[in-house]
Structure 1
């Protein structure tokens, strides 16, 4: 197709190609004349016509067909070296005209079909580009609007004197900011997946910086887990609430602490490729109070965690093991690939 395109863009080269094809076809037929039995006057001209019509165009192909027919009539159809018409020569010429006409017509229709396909592909590519541009613009505006709302809530928190109201506004600002960040990372419509590893690696330090608490070590150990936007947002919010809870309650006053976040497979995939995953947040603080139940908690953050867990069809478990341990089990379709440890 590249060779045909270059010839079609160079008219002189098309006719040079046609002349060369005729000369080569004639030379081959002339050299084989003594070895061929009677009845093959057009043997080398058929491929010359087809090749010329395909690569140089229909008009050069027709010219090669006419030249080949005339040359065969004069040199290779008895009576030789004359244009005398006999019953045999008329039949041979009619056969030749029929075959080359069918060949050229088929090539012409094929080229028309290819041109239509090319036009349709260009139109589809143009529409896809416009769709991607509109999609990215929409994503960009949504993330910007969410960022503005988050900033407004943050500014409002600084203007309140009630500590509880300030805490609520800051939490709301952080949650909306999280959704804005995820939305911004999903600008590419061709890749509607978010790798949770880098996100979780940055989430802890961001929350620790926002809290103003120092001396808490943050560790993560995650596999490469790509989640869709529908799954990444609730998982990100759950992780935010659990890490925030550990920052607030998971350390002994006056001492440092450690928060550890892990994310990875929970056994082999099943159900046609679905992958059971486990998100675990642990700290080395005093642990969960005896008899504590997330479902019965009146804390807004824990109620959000429970609600989002139900939304994604997951299971939430809490335990004490050298501190508070919260485990979320859920299922996601994308298959994670194991990578190195993040820190």
Structure 2
């Protein structure tokens, strides 16, 4: 039994049923841009009726609301050349509907058995999507502006802190020169050195860009280079070397670590080498695994005769112990050979055994 072939009227009924099932607005136009069919969504959204739509020129629909230059460009220039266009965006204030942003998808249908052509024109309302995108862009712009303002304020604060520290250091040095008591002069010079140490740590952090995470290697290298330049005389053959992996540390912890290194390196420069030595070396090492890290400052100096940087060894030692505690770490000392100060934070990682002082200095 043969299935009967649908007639023209049946095909039109089927086509209209298909068009009506589409949730987005859809028009079927003939070659002269007159409406052959329209989806139910088109009638509902644009508030027009079939009586004033079917057979009408597209540009005359709804008192000319579709007589849009961008739409004319699409239908009269682009489609005849390309036969298809997706995502053609149109902004228009539709009467009774309001401002809308529409994406138009158009297809030119060419039939094998007929010279007639048909244009399918589908609309996607992206008004809400574009509004969200604009809000996101505005929010991003405001956020970037706030970040710029924060950076400017941070730079201004760092500049003022640096100036204040330099002023305090200068006052302490002036007072040290003015007093007659040798003990008082010693304490004032010691305080002067501490203030300069804090200023140096602050300046190195400022050079790192004020970011939340600091790469330890470059930070300690710059710090130790600055200490060497200011503390080691031209006649001294002493080297301060930094060996560090690519570990990162929070900028708040970097301050404490920088002050510890400053105190220990200054201690070694001052006391580890009472006489000039060609092989004099102060080595600063940093290694990390996960949250665990180790900071080791060692020298190949006189060892047991070097003043021990502990709380019993003066203000510098007390500062170091307080900072180690602040970092939730523990400190151990070894004086054979030279002086080795190891500061370790166990964290959740597991660090391998540290190189012995003899191996590190070789």
| TM-score scaled by length of structure 2 | 0.59
Separation of aligned partners in 2, 1:166 and 1:326: 29
Cα separation, 2, equivalents of 1:248 and 1:190? 33
Number of equivalent positions: 263
Question: 1:217, CA displacement in angstroms?
Answer: 0.9
CA distance in 1, matches of 2:146, 2:324: 38
Separation of aligned partners in 2, 1:152 and 1:331 = 41
Alignment counterpart, residue 58 of structure 1, candidates 79, 86, 92: 92
Tell me the equivalent position of 1:89.
Answer: none
Map Cα deviations across residues 72-112 of structure 1 (whole Å, 9 max, x no partner).
9xxx9xxxx9xxxxxxxxxxxxxx9xx85xx35x2222222
Query: Whose relative contact order is higher, 1 or 2, with alpha carbons under 8 Å and at least 6 apart?
Result: 1
Counterpart-to-counterpart distance in 1, 2:317 and 2:103: 83
Provide the rounded CA distance (Å) in 1 between the counterparts of 2:260 and 2:203.
19
CA contact (8 A) 2:330 2:343 kept: yes
State whether residues 227 and 332 of structure 1, in contact with CA within 8 Å, keep that contact through their aligned partners in structure 2.
Answer: no
Offset from partner CA, 1:21-66 (integer Å, 9 cap, x none): 112566389xxxxxxxxxxxxxx7xx75x733x2x5336999x999
Q: Which has the higher strand share?
A: 2
Q: Which residue of 2 aligns with 1:246?
A: 268
1:258: which partner in 2? 280
> In the alignment, is the contact (CA less than 8 A) between 1:250 and 1:257 conserved in 2?
no
Relative to structure 1, the CA distance from residue 262 to residue 243 in structure 2 (aligned partners, 3 Å threshold; closer, same or farther) is closer
CA distance in 2, matches of 1:289, 1:189: 40
Point out the structure with the larger helix share.
1
TM-score using structure 1 length: 0.62
- Which of 262, 285, 288 is equivalent to 2:304? 288
Other-structure match for 2:337 = 322
Q: Once superposed, what is the RMSD of the aligned Cα atoms?
A: 4.2
Q: Give the CA deviation at 1:164.
A: 2.7
Gaps of 5+ in 1: 1-14, 30-43, 82-95, 334-343
The answer to whether the 8 A contact 1:139-1:186 is kept is no
Q: 1:22 aligns with which of 56, 72, 75?
A: 75
Distance 1:25 1:244 in 2: 77
Taking the aligned partners of 1:242 and 1:205, their CA distance within structure 2 comes to 16
1:306 corresponds to 2:303: no
* Contact kept? 1:288, 1:324, Cα under 8 Å: yes
- SS in structure 2 at match of 1:297: helix
CA distance in 2, matches of 1:28, 1:246: 82
Correspondence list, 1:1-343, <5 A: 18-24=71-77, 27=80, 51-52=87-88, 54=89, 56-58=90-92, 103=123, 106-187=125-206, 188-193=209-214, 195-209=219-233, 214-224=235-245, 225-253=247-275, 258-265=280-287, 269=289, 273-285=290-302, 287-289=303-305, 295=310, 297-330=312-345
CA contact (8 A) 1:265 1:277 kept: yes
- Kept after mapping to 2: 8 A contact 1:144/1:180: no
Output the CA distance in 1 between the equivalents of 2:238 and 2:314. Answer: 25
Q: Is the 8 A contact 2:268 2:282 kept in 1?
A: no
Distance 2:164 2:220 in 1: 23
